[in-house]
Amino acid sequence: MNRRLSNKSKGLRTYAVEIPSRDEVLGALEEAGVPLSDAELLERLGVKDGEEREGIERRIGAMEREGQVLRNRRLNALVCDLVHWLWPLWLRRCRTGQLTEALTLALAAAQLTHSERATAAMLIALADAARTLNPAAAYGYARRAAAHCEQTGETAGLAAALSSLGSTLLHTGQFDHADGCFRDAEALHATLGRPRGVALARRGRGLIALERGDTEAAVELLDDAHRALAQVGDRHEAALTLALHARALAADGDVRHALLELDLAAGVLREMRATDGEAAVFSTRADVLAHAGLETQARQARAKARSLRRATAPCAEHQNAETSHAC
């Protein structure tokens, strides 16, 4: 079956090859969970060169014009929904208070435009932003997101909301309830065929096992999560999960392999210029070294973590003050 693509200046054009539908384009972006370049999107859609590529590029262009997808100019990537449209603003508002303010404005905009998916995404983002300093608020946002998704029938959003709720409950030490949320999220993601969501839910379960002292289960769950994230190409989350796996290995007595994995994770995050993540890895390294009785090396790792965290502050100030047009 041929698909016809419209072009106001040239009329209708018929292609002899099957062109991915708009729903398939949106599904690929949603499944990725992160912005995709044009090449990455076409690879996910299985598009080859020639007429098929020309057709899908015209289709994406039409979707951009109609507001179905938006191009994040800073990342030169196609992104989906209001959540990503406001992403550049978040990058310039790195402090928690400013981030919450930006997300609150984004939530209001999503609700005014009746964007159900973006509304859920904003609530989940607010929960994630508030988790450390205000877990009660984070719990409220995550519960609102879950209720909203249940009401609108947004299964993917419900799975993400349950994972966020599980993370908040884990942060407050409510391990049983957190485990239930992560298991429900994992089941929903598996039903939807979303390996990245399954991996993140399993990572949450692995952290619960680690907190409970079940290091064997923690090592297994975090290893599964790391492999799955690496397989879907999410290098950032895979590196963070590898660091958590290293922490579980150290708790299980394998300090040597734990330090090797932390070196690998730090290297990936350094290459990606994910400074906050690299700082978190060095903090974990300091804890592992201190637990092993290597205090001198632990102090060096803590100093490196502090240095990395300080290095991010001037950049944020520079963006706030001088590069409001950069994105």
pTM of the model: 0.67
Helices and strands, counts by H and E, the chain: 16, 4
Q: 42 phi and psi, to 5 degrees?
A: -65, -35
Q: ∠ at Cα 169 (173, 284), nearest 5°?
A: 65
Is the predicted pLDDT of residue 319 greater than 80, yes or no? Answer: no
Which tokens go with 166?
């599980």
Helix axes 135-152, 116-130, angle to 10 degrees: 160
Which of the given ranges, 36-40, 106-110, 268-272, has the highest pLDDT on average? 268-272
Confidence of residue 326 (pLDDT cuts 50, 70, 90): very low
- Do 82-193 and 196-314 agree at the fold level? yes
Is the predicted pLDDT of residue 261 greater than 60, yes or no? Answer: yes
The pLDDT of residue 12 is: 47
Q: Going by C-beta distance under 8 Å and a sequence separation of 6 or more, which residues neighbour residue 168?
A: 127, 131, 135, 138, 139, 142, 178
Q: How far apart are CA 168 and CA 165, in angstroms?
A: 5
**Fold of domain 196-314:** 1.25.40
Strands of the chain (E only): list them: 4-7, 11-14, 70-72, 77-79
- Delimit the domains of the chain by residue range: 7-79, 82-193, 196-314
Q: Which CATH number fits domain 82-193: 3.90.1280.10, 1.20.1740.10, 1.25.40.10, 1.20.1250.20?
A: 1.25.40.10
Q: How far apart are CA 232 and CA 190, in angstroms?
A: 14
pLDDT, tens only, 1-22: 333 343 333 444 555 567 888 8
311 or 202, higher pLDDT: 202
Confidence of residue 324 (pLDDT cuts 50, 70, 90): very low
Exposure string for 242-251, b = 16+ CB within 10 A, e = fewer: bbbbbbbbbb
Rounded mean pLDDT of the chain?
81
Q: How far apart are CA 233 and CA 229, in angstroms?
A: 6
Confidence of residue 204 (pLDDT cuts 50, 70, 90): very high
Residue 121: name the closest of 171, 89, 169, 86 by CA. Answer: 86
Is the predicted pLDDT of residue 234 greater than 50, yes or no? Answer: yes
278 or 39, higher pLDDT: 278
